[in-house]
Structure 1
Amino acid sequence: MNIFGIGLPEMALIMVVALLIFGPKKLPEIGRSMGKAIRSFQEASREFESEFKREADQIEQAVKTTAELEPKQIAPAESENPAASPSQPS
């Protein structure tokens, strides 16, 4: 079992140190508050992601609509008579 690069022995050591520092009565309360904080962070992350996707979809739809509504721009045809073309020297 390897979580965040921490193995089982390291995890056990961290738990023992936390138990010694906070005591057995405070440890469940700390775990609950950390769980709530992680859950709220995940909810905020999901909300941000959905808002970002919604905005991207709206922009994409606006670009498609604009592209469909704009008339196709065609470059003006050059003169068929090369002698009349001003780009060629006389």
Structure 2
Amino acid sequence: MFGIGGGELFFIILVVLMLFGSDKVPEIARNLGRGMQQLKNATNEIKSEIHKSADVDGIKKSFTEIGTTDTAGEITREIEQVKQDIEDMSGPIKRQN
């Protein structure tokens, strides 16, 4: 667990008990657990929104769709179309060396 041995874990628990007292430790652990759960839920919601927007915009294709057609030609055409769309939106971009 995080590269911590049994003796080190015991020492950490002892220090926490000395700093906060035995009555506060369960409350701190509960609050820490709730915070971790909220963080996990928030990241899952963000992932879900990204996947939904990718599906709605038609960005995401299944591998079977890509594999059943002329893959190299279709991908090349799609890349060229995206390049053209970006150029239409932003104008030609010149590289500075």
Q: Whose Rg is larger?
A: 1
Superposed CA RMSD in Å reads 2.2
TM-score, normalisation: structure 2: 0.57
Identity of aligned residues (%): 36
The answer to whether structure 1 residue 34 and structure 2 residue 61 are counterparts is no
Q: Any gaps of 5 or more consecutive residues in structure 2? A: 62-97
Name the residue aligned to 1:19.
17
How far apart are residue 60 of structure 1 and its match? 2.2
**Which 4+ runs in 1 deviate beyond 4 A?**
none
- TM-score, normalising length: structure 1: 0.61
Are the equivalent residues in 1 in contact too, given 2:54–2:60 (CA < 8 A)? no
Q: Mark the CA change 1:62 to 1:22 in structure 2 (over 3 Å): closer, same or farther.
A: closer
Where do residues 74-89 of structure 1 align in structure 2 (5 Å cutoff)? none
